[in-house]
C-alpha cells in the first residue's frame, strides 16, 4: 500500500512558464523524495513598462511517502 501527500508550491522565472515549472519541481526535489506528479493550478505574469518581467506558477506536487 502506498500513501501520497500533496503540497502547494509557487515558483517564478524570467524565462517563461515552462522554466518556472521545471525550476519549482527541481527545487522541491532537493528536499522531497518520490515526486510522482504536478498540477499547475495558476499562472500569472508581472509586467513593467509594458513588458513581462517574470512568470509565476502555482502548482500542487504529489509525492509518495516512505
At 31-44, the pLDDT tens digits run: 999 999 999 999 99
The number of folded domains in the chain is 1
Domain harbouring 37, CATH code:
3.30.1660.10
- When the pLDDT of each residue in the chain is averaged and rounded to a whole number, the result is 97
Contact of 61 with 28, CB cutoff 8 Å: yes
The pLDDT, as a whole number, for residue 1 is: 87
Contact of 1 with 31, CB cutoff 8 Å: no
Higher pLDDT, 40 or 1: 40
DSSP assignment, residue 58?
Answer: E
Q: Domain range spanning residue 22? A: 4-64
Region 16-29: mean pLDDT is 98
The pLDDT, as a whole number, for residue 51 is: 97
Amino acid at each position: 500500500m502506498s500513501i501520497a501527500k500533496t503540497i502547494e508550491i509557487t515558483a517564478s522565472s524570467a524565462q517563461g512558464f515552462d522554466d518556472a515549472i521545471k525550476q519549482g519541481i527541481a527545487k522541491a526535489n532537493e528536499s522531497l523524495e518520490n515526486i510522482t506528479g504536478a498540477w499547475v493550478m495558476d499562472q500569472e505574469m508581472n509586467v513593467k513598462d509594458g513588458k513581462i518581467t517574470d512568470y509565476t506558477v502555482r502548482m500542487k506536487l504529489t509525492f509518495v511517502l516512505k
